[in-house]
Amino acid sequence: MKKFNILLCFVCLIINGCFAKINQEFNAENNLRSLKPTPILDSKTKNADSLKLHSKLLQTLYSDSYSNNYYYTTLYIGPNKIKQTYLIDTTTAILSSPCDSCAECGKHKKNYYSHLNKTAYKPLKCSSKICNLVPASGCSISKEEKKKKKLDQLACSFYSKKSNGDGLKGNYLSGIVYFEEDKSSTSNKKVYRSYALPLGCTTGEFGKFKSYIPDGIMGLNNNKGSFVSVLNQLKIVNKNLFSLCFGLEGGYMSLGEIDKTYHNAKKINYIPLLSSNNLYSFSVHGIQVGKNKKEKHKIVASIDSTKAFTYFPNKIYKSIYNQILELCKDKKGKNICGKFQYDSQLGYCISYTSRESLFKSVNSFWPNITLYLPNGTEYLVKGINYHYYYFNGNDRKACLGFKPTDKDFITIGTNFMHGKDIIFDKDSQTLGFVNADCSARNTYVKSILNTKKAKSKSDDEAVDKEIHKNEKKGKFTLGDNNNKDSVLFVQGHNTELDDNKDFNFFNLAILLSSMLIVIIVILIVVIALMCKKKEFALYENISEEPNDFQVPQKLEEVTTHSNEEKSTSEEVQFLRKIMKITNK
């Protein structure tokens, strides 16, 4: 019995191992990455909780200047923690920055990271499970080419080029990426935590991508392989959504969940997105300037976070421009906004003698623009937000932040996104927006908001006065404080991408076969145990006295029976002796 019990325990262990293996194969999280929770920090460290799973990532955004008016964030790459800046791009799907072999790249903000160290960066092949998560154009080959070439010999690469000539090319690597820690108030240092991700190594840039000051691109378009979708599939963030909150200086981005910290309203307005070539497109039903009558339109608009201006079709642009001119006049016909002058680069602008007078005029006199969207939703943009500001020495201009285009759709640029937290929900295919203090998370602007000169967080004019006053004195540094970083790095909940555990039907067949063998063994053991039990029961029954056995009543009967047996035994012995003599 003891041997059978040991055998049964051993079989149970095998079954448990098989089911654990099956669970691992079917679990997307374990299938795509191996968890190695070896903490860099001990349990007493204040930031040890960064080893836990986080439902969202909250990144600070920086705007390089008012003249460029685009937004980027900072990440650290690889074990050497190379600092890289990434342009926020809602029209591409790739997270990539130039590596040291990029001969066709422009001059950017930081040093290129080295991809030659294979212990730090693992090149991905087309056969890799991880390569299937990202847009890899280099792996899209015909069946005939697949017969000639093996997928495990092809590099997982990308080539993305827009119709206007802007684009990137390069290869994918697997590496460590450090994201900004959301709750870093417990430390004086800015905390970044690590995750293993597929990372683009840019080997060529085209068009405007060469001239951008940020190093690389963080692609957040509506493609299933865009950056936030990869984070969601790897279980690094909770949901397949992100939000962008652009302020006049800086802002923040939330990946995986909505961050409501700086919202000025409880309700978030949502509208449905249109399926349009991986862009975030929606319908516009009408446009209103100031308190003028609403003009009805039926037109499509899409968001492009790399555009400083918003582009309207010619007819709509002329109507908006003419209405602003009329609304900038008082009852006597005097121009209260200032005199518009056309600039070939900037469009229609008004020059001011000081920045203070510029912001006062824009905030007080320039009319709002309202877009009427589906579900009766209104998208209102204030004058101080939709402008494009240009400062160069004593040249101070406020320009209309929109331009005409020959295309029959609207392109929403960063100026029409100012002052709102815009939610891009990819799973539900909806676009949400709510008024928010987008610059409040920027540490420099936050310190300005707390000064006596800034009456409240929503006092845009006072905030901008302080920003530009400090900038003029040389106290204001644009961007991410390049030379004064005080950073602490911690380890996130995954440290390595594992693409060697790809699930396939062959593995499933092996697992099912193993389970079948185990079940047969169990049945054999059970049958053996049952037979052994019956044998033991039979033995117990035989050892008992039968019911029909009669015990002799008298001692004489027992004695007589014993004597008979004894005499019989003596006769047998006598006969054996006679047989021996005869044989001789």
Cβ contacts of 182 within 8 Å, gap of 6 or more? 54, 56, 57, 58
Confidence band (pLDDT; 50, 70, 90) for 39? Answer: very low
Least confident of 283-292, 461-470, 483-492: 461-470
Residue 536, φ and ψ in degrees, nearest 5: -65, -40
Cα separation, 579 vs 193, whole angstroms: 104
| Beta-carbon count within 10 A of 471 CB | 17
Please give the structure tokens belonging to residue 148.
Answer: 């000639």
- Dmax over Cα atoms in the chain, in whole Å? 163
Tell me the per-residue pLDDT of 515-546, one tens digit each, with 9 for 90 and over. Answer: 788 788 788 877 877 776 666 665 555 555 55
Question: Is the pLDDT confidence value at 559 over 90?
Answer: no
Helix (H, G, I), strand (E, B) or coil at 252: strand
Query: What's 209's DSSP letter?
Result: G
For the stretch 318-355, pLDDT in tens is 999 999 999 988 888 888 888 889 988 888 999 988 87
Is pLDDT at 292 greater than 90 in this prediction? yes
Q: What is the pLDDT of residues 371-416, one digit of tens each?
A: 999 999 999 999 888 888 888 777 888 889 899 999 999 999 999 9
pLDDT band at residue 288 using 50, 70 and 90 as cut-offs: very high
Rounded percentage of the chain residues whose pLDDT exceeds 90: 32
Dist CA 332 CA 150 (whole Å): 78
Question: Span 216-225, mean pLDDT?
Answer: 93
Dist. CA 2–CA 418, nearest whole Å? 76
CA-based nearest residue to 254, from 245, 243, 268, 264: 243
**Mean pLDDT within 29-58:** 44
Winning range, highest mean pLDDT, from 91-95, 164-168, 473-477, 550-554: 91-95
CATH numbers and ranges of domains, the chain? 37-237+487-494 (2.40.70.10), 269-432 (2.40.70.10)
DSSP readout, 495-510? Answer: -EE--S----HHHHHH
Tell me: pLDDT of 97 over 70: yes
Confidence check: pLDDT of 459 > 60? no
Q: Which residue has the tokens 């070939």?
A: 344
pLDDT band at 218 (very low <50, low <70, confident <90, very high): very high
